Structures are given as structure tokens and as C-alpha cells.
Structure 1
Amino acid sequence: MAIPNKFRLKYLLDRCLSKQETEQERLELERYFSDQETLDNLGDLLLDSFFQTKELTDMHNERQDQLLQAIYSLEEKELITEKVNYWKWIRFAAIFIAVLGSAIWIGKDNARRTVSMNNTEQHASSKNKPVEEKVKLDRQPAQKTAILEIGSDTRLDLANLDSGQVFEKNGVSVKQTGSGAILVSFANQLPTSAAAKNIVNTVKTPRGGTYKVVLTDGTVVQLNSNSKLTFPSQFATTERRVTFEGEGYFEVAKDKTKMFIVTTVVGNRKQEVKVFGTSFNIMAYADETTIKTTLVEGSVSIKELNSGTEVVMKPNELVELGNTGMVKGIADLQAALSWRNNIFYFSNESIQNVLKQISRWYDIDIIYDNNLAETPVWGQMSRSKKLSEVLEILEKTNQLKFNIKGKEVHVNNK
């Protein structure tokens, strides 16, 4: 068996540690850990996996203790074939994460600066500013909220739907399932009129909002901030077609008789993703230079609508569509899917791209009061932090200064 791609292994370890793995993902990891060639190289893979481009991870002491307790309480499970306890290797990997402090790396002039922030430092720094001022200027992380538009005459704020509540309109039933998700289905009977069949529905997440949608065929779409998913009340007999912009993770329900097609149009960039059942991530924001499609499992084909060029993707591959066409390469699953794990993950990102992600998550406008140097950023931190905490960590590089003015954040070089 070939040694797994390091990004795939990192992804599988992360899924198992967070108890979000599918049965297929668990079986895949078991196969890797039952292979002697993989085990011989496991140490290097884990070290590379958890220390490449980031020396420290963002985790409070309380969370470190919780994770370690969860690790040590895991049941011992041995594989029947090779009798390899792969959980001990997952523990080994998790301890690398749990014992490290809170930090982010920021580099300048080819040098890297480690900025650490533990609980003591956070407490001390908070004393330097009046509590009232911080509360007044601070902003919370993204909330589970979205707007559902049914046809042209109904607009529903999903944040106002109680858990378990059902809303019906034009043959479409929408149920709030809790935890920021809705289940879309047909009401008591399928819509029969041509008008009802052609009703177009749209779910929009604002900046500072996320949401999950379960479509009538069982496909799950998780929307990041500032995203839009448009879908019909009833899929056609031969295909399941939706349109999307923003960022979203698709887990397409398998149906070999109906291809699932995602159309994305951002400026001059136009593409179609065709699948029967698979998992992939699309990032297609208007302020980005490319549309990025990352395949996690299954297979998809991507067609550039302007030229008709079509490429087939395999798991762990990334296709970027820019103004000059499509480019296929190896995906960094940890980076592409970090938003689903509620993490800001930066791997040699420019400070401008970092602030772009922050602006979407906290619904703020970034104002550059002067030209910033091309500063690369490494590291990761929780997306559950308040805006002031995130900016405080970035400020500790001694390179940047932030000033919050309502929904605007002004950025200056120090």
C-alpha cells in the first residue's frame, strides 16, 4: 500500500480526533495504520503534519485539559489483521496539538516572529483598556443565521425559526433541525403545477453568518459567511442542478440516475461541477482572484463554461479557475476545510488575505490607512474568539496597529 498523501492523513486524523469521521474515513485510516510501510514512516508524517508552517496552535489551557482527558479516555481498539492500535498513534498526534500554547507566526523580510498569547497574557492585556470601551467596540464571531427566499414573494429569517419548527410555502416544507441547519422537503404532497415545480429558492448567509442546508435529495451544503445557494423546489427527472457563490462544503447524496451539478459564476469566471455523490469544497468569492474547488472524496469533473475545457478531479486535488483558465494541483485539506472546523488556518498567507477572511467572519470593513508590507502569516487560531482578541494577537507582531470604529477596522503599520 502506498504511503498516504500527508494532507489526506492530516485530514483523517483531524476528523477522527473531533469525532466527525464517516465510516468510510475511519476504514481508510484503519487501512493506513495496518500497513507496515506507513507505520515505518509515521513519525515523520506526524511531525511534518503538525509542525509544518506552524510551530504553535491556538488553544486555551482549559481546552488543552479537555482534549487530553478525551484522548486518554478513548477505548483501546486493536485491528484484527495487523493488531495495530491506531488510536495510540492518534493520541500521539493529538498530544502534539494539546500541549502547545496559543500562538501565530508572522514573517517579515524572510524572518518569522512567533507571537504567543496564553491566558495570563490575555488577562493582563485586558487591564490596559477600559472594559466598557472593549465591549462597545468588540464584535462577536459568525453566528448561525441566514435568509431563505422561497420564490419571489417569501423571505424568511432562519434565525427566527425555533428548533423543530416547520414552515410551509408553495409545496415546500422547511424544518429547523437545530444547530444552525434546515431540512428542505416537500410538504404533504409534491407540487403539481408547472409554476410550483419551477419555484426557485435561495439561502443567503450574510457576512458574519453561517448555515447548513439539507436539500430534498439528502445532499448537505454547509455555507460559510457571505455565501448564496440557489436550488429548485423540485429537481428535474434527469439532473439535480444548483447554483452557488461564496464558500461551501457539499456532501452530495448518491443517485446514479441524477447527476448533481453546481454552477458557479463570479465575474468572468464560470464553471460547472458535476458529480453523482461525493464531498468537496468550493470557494468562489467576488474579491478572490480564483475559484477554488477542493475534492475530499469521490470524483468530480469541472467544466470551464467559457472555453468548454473539462478536467476530472481525484481526492486530495485542487482546481483553481482564474482569468487564464484552470490549473490542477495537490490540495491542502487542512487549509481548505479549516473553516468547517471553526479555525483560522494560515499557511504562508499574505496579511491582506488574512484580513479578508476576518472581515467576512466578523462582518467588518477593512480600511488600510497606509500601504502594508507583504507580510506572510503562518499559524492557526479559533474562530470562536471575539474580534478584539484576534486583532490583539496580530498586533503583538509589533508590525500592525488596528483601530475599531464601528464596522470599520483601520489598519496601520506600527
Structure 2
Amino acid sequence: MQDLNDLYTRYLNKQCSPEEVRMLLAHFHLTGESSSLRPRILRELAKSNIAKENPPEVDAALKRIHHRLINDISTSMPSRSKTKWTYGIAVAAAVLLFMLIGIWFFTIYTVDRSPAIVNTVDIAPGGNKATLAMENGNTIDLSEVQDGIVIGREITYLDGTPVQNRQATGATHESVSQLILTTPKGGTYRVTLSDGTNVWLNASSTLKYPSRFAESERIVKLEGEAYFDVSKGVPFKVVSSGQTVEVLGTQFNVSAYPDEQQVQTTLVEGIVQVAAESQCLSMRLLPGEQSTLIDAHLKKNRADIASVIAWKEGLFSFNETELRVVMNQLSRWYDVTVEYQGTIPVTYYYGAISRQESLANVLDLLRQSGLNFKIDKTGGTNKVVVLP
């Protein structure tokens, strides 16, 4: 068999014969080994384009190979220091992978697509946006050039700059007051609590917490989604819709949006105990496990950690994610409403996209499914219309 690197390059350049494509696919299918080609594949994905014509008889196999390649990439989530590099790779990967969505419902090269809708308007991605409500009734619009605050003797930004003076915030080290950090649609923010616990809030979320914890336990209340890196100490409890998560010191993600049918808790490190309020049932999670609370029932399964925490790393990450779940995420990040017109087929998505992309760019990728999307902007209301 000829050199695989050369064969893969010829494939990307549309120079492979049908037989050569089958040879390349056979290698991946029979050996299941892509590691030898990984560095080359990453480079090629970063500079490849969408349209690659292939013989119809190998479409199904191409779906498998691309799915395997992108999963290799998207499951290797970057450290924060490598995020910018990964954005380029993730977007390029998404360009290829979004050609492969909805595997059970249509074939890429044979689907009868309606003409693409050209958006005349666009919407920028979200950013650092949040408000801090004090117990005395004061509300502070937090700086968008900062990405977090620290609760201490005074409330400061992560770089030490005071949020406001002590008299304005009403917060002192001696008194305990209740604080509320809220991110709007299109906003994220981070808070370091008085015990050193770090919490990252996703868009459209609210965290209620004291300026100083009691000696016997630590309790916060969450609506929306947040990632917790809990410092060790007395029990730390996160109360959300219908459940309580208790930990001593660990890292986990809780998604408890009121417009979602389920509450999910995903453990990254350590051990957590999840208890449903409506039933005498609790379960312990180990790293890589996820609990789901739905219709007052609690269940446990293995989790795709990379996809769950991708938002914290600046990515949308989809792994067999249904269209409406995808659109809910876009709605919160780009502050838009979503409307469905006509008969929309059940469609699933795979891949990763930078959350720094504009909404039009993201929709252009999603459009490769055969669906169409239109951005409407009337007055102060932004809306995405999904069409067959």
C-alpha cells in the first residue's frame, strides 16, 4: 500500500481515484489506527476547505473516518494556554464534520437542499458580562474588560482592582451578606468565593452565595450552568433545580437551566454526592460520570467530559447533540430567540466551533446539514429562524 501521508494529501486535494479512497478508508476501518497520521491530519484540517467531491458509494465510509478523526481532536481539549491554537483547528474540523451531521436522516451528497439564505445582518459573540447584586439593594454592572471578581475584605476584580468602594457595595469582612452574581444572555463571568472556591458562570445564569461562609458548611444556589473548582474544607453544597450536590473539594459542572427538561451534574475530579429533593434517592459520582435529573428521576451514566466543559474553554462542542439543544446553546450565547418554521427533521451534530465566531459564521457551518437558517433583527429583538 502506498504511503498513507501521500494518500491522505491526495484525498484532500481531490486527486484520489475511487480505488485509492477505498484503500485509505480500508486502512482506518481495519486497523482503527489514526495516530501515525495525526500530526499531518491536524495540519491538513486547519487549511482544508468544505467541498470535497467523492464517489457516492464511499460517502458512508467517509462519514466514519471523519467522525473518528474529529473525535480524536475534540476529545483532546486544550489547556487555556493553547486555546487560540485550538480555535483554528476546531473551526476547520467543524467545517469538515458538520458535513456529516444527521447521519440517520440524510446523505451528504445526495440531499436535495433548498437555496442557502443569505443573512444581511450578523450578531457578535458574547463576552464578559455580569451584574453583582448586593444585599442592600445596590446592583453593579461589572467591567467587560475583566473576566472575574474575588470576594474578600473588599470585592475586587481578579487583577486586584476594586469593584467599588466598601461603602457603595455594603460589603465588609465582619458582616455576612448575601450576594448574587448574574450573567445575561451572551455573558460569562468568574467569581472566587471567600473560601477560595472558583466558579465560572455560563451565559444566562445566576449564583447566590454569602460574602463569608459559615464554619460548619458552605452553601450556594445556582440557576443556569456553572463549573466549580471547590477548595477543600467543610461540606460544600450546590442547590439547584430539584437537587443538591455535596462535595468536600473537587471539580464538577452543573447545568440547571429552567428552560431545559433535565439537570445534569458532571464530575471531572474527586467525588460528589447528588441528592434529588423529590425522592429519597442519592448517588455518588466518580470522575467521568454524570447524573441526570429528569421528571423527578435521577440516573447515572458515563459523560463526554470534553463536550460538557467545552463552554468554559471557549468552544461549542457537540457529540450526537440534537438540533434543539444546539439552538438553545446558541440562543443563550448570542442573545437570540429561536423560531422553527415548517417540518424540521430530527438532526444531530458532531464537532467543535469557537464561541468567538459570529452567529452568521456558526449558522453557515450548521447549514451544511441541509437545513437553512435566517437571522431576523427587528428593533432590539434578534431572532434565528430555522427552516427545512
TM-score for both structures, normalised by structure 2: 0.69
Change (3 A) 1:148 1:302: same
* Cα deviation, residue 348, structure 1: 1.3
| 2:253 and 2:267 in contact (8 A); partners too | yes
2:95 to 102, 127, 137: 102
Task: Using the TM superposition, give the Cα deviation of residue 149 of structure 1 relative to its aligned residue in structure 2, in angstroms.
Answer: 0.6
Are the equivalent residues in 2 in contact too, given 1:369–1:410 (CA < 8 A)?
A: no
| Distance 1:228-1:112 versus aligned 2 partners, 3 A rule | farther
* 1: CA distance, partners of 2:303 / 2:131: 32
Q: Which residue of 2 aligns with 1:413?
A: 387
What is the alpha-carbon root mean square deviation over aligned residues? 4.2
State the shift of 1:46 in Å. Answer: 10
Matched with 1:245 is: 223
Pairing of 1:12-411 with structure 2 (within 5 A):
53=67, 55-56=69-70, 102-103=95-96, 104=98, 105-107=100-102, 109-111=104-106, 113=108, 134=120, 137-159=121-143, 173-178=154-159, 190-191=173-174, 196-197=175-176, 199-255=177-233, 258-265=234-241, 270-406=242-378, 407-411=381-385
1:288 Cα deviation after fit? 1.1
The question of whether the paired residues in 1 share the 8 Å contact of 2:278 and 2:296 is answered with no
Q: Give the letter aligned to residue 264 of structure 1.
A: S
Deviation of the 1:175 alpha carbon: 0.6
Query: CA shift at 1:357, angstroms?
Result: 0.6
Cα 1:96–1:152 shift into 2, 3 Å = closer
Contact 1:163–1:178 at 8 Å: present in 2 too? no
Cα distance change on mapping 1:348 and 1:160 into 2, 3 Å: closer
Looking at structure 2, the residues matched to 383 and 212 of structure 1 have their Cα atoms a distance apart, in angstroms, of 17
SS of equivalent residue, structure 1 residue 339: helix
| Post-superposition offset of 1:340 | 1.2
Q: Which has the higher contact order (CA 8 A, sep 6+)?
A: 2
- Give the letter aligned to residue 142 of structure 1: G
Which SS does the other structure have where 1:358 is aligned?
Answer: helix
Paired residue secondary structure (2:102): strand
Q: How far is the alpha carbon of 1:286 from its aligned partner?
A: 1.0
Are 2:273 and 2:283, in contact at CA under 8 Å, matched by a contact in 1?
Answer: yes
2:136·2:170 contact (CA, 8 Å) conserved in 1?
no
Structure 2: distance between partners of 1:326 and 1:155:
37
Distance change in 2, residues 1:141/1:275 (3 Å): same
Letter in 1 for 2:295: N
Identical pairs, percent:
29
Q: Deviation at 1:55?
A: 4.9
**Secondary structure of 1:392's partner?**
helix
Which is further off, 157-166 or 99-108?
157-166
Q: Is the 8 A contact 1:53 1:348 kept in 2?
A: no
Instruction: Please state how far the C-alpha of 1:355 moved relative to its aligned partner.
Output: 0.8
Say which SS state the counterpart of residue 353 (structure 1) adopts: helix
Aligned residues: 312
CA distance in structure 2 between the aligned counterparts of 1:182 and 1:315, rounded to whole angstroms: 36
TM-score normalized with structure 1 length: 0.65
Taking a change above 3 Å as real, the CA distance of residues 70 and 232 of structure 1, as seen in their structure-2 partners, is closer
